[in-house]
Amino acid sequence: MKKEIHPKNYRLVAFRDMSNGNTFVTKSTAASKETVKLEDGNEYPLIKLEISSTSHPFYTGKMKLVDTAGRVDKFMNRYKSHLDKKKK
C-alpha cells in the first residue's frame, strides 16, 4: 500500500437512516454541520442517509419503494412531452 495517502482525521460520527430513524456510530472523515446527542450522553457530528443496511430491501428481505425526493415523478414531468411524442 502507498504511504501517506489515507486521511489522518478520523473521528466518531453518527449516521442516521432517515427512512427508519436508526442511528449508528462509526469512525469517519465525513464533514457535517449538524450534531446529535445520543443515549450515551456524547454529542457526535450527524450524517443523514437515505438508506442503510437497516432499511435496504436486500438486508431486510422486505421490498419497499424508496422514493423520498419524488425522483420518478420529477423525471416523468420533465420528459412527459418527449415520451408523448414517442408514443405517437
What pTM, to 2 d.p., does this model score? 0.63
Per-residue pLDDT reduced to its tens digit, 37-83: 999 999 999 999 888 877 766 666 666 555 566 677 777 777 777 77
What integer pLDDT is reported at residue 65 of this predicted model?
A: 57
What integer pLDDT is reported at residue 40 of this predicted model?
A: 92
- Asked whether the beta carbons of 82 and 45 are under 8 A apart, the reply is no
User: What backbone phi and psi angles, to 5 degrees, belong to 39?
Assistant: -60, -25
29: pLDDT strictly greater than 70: yes
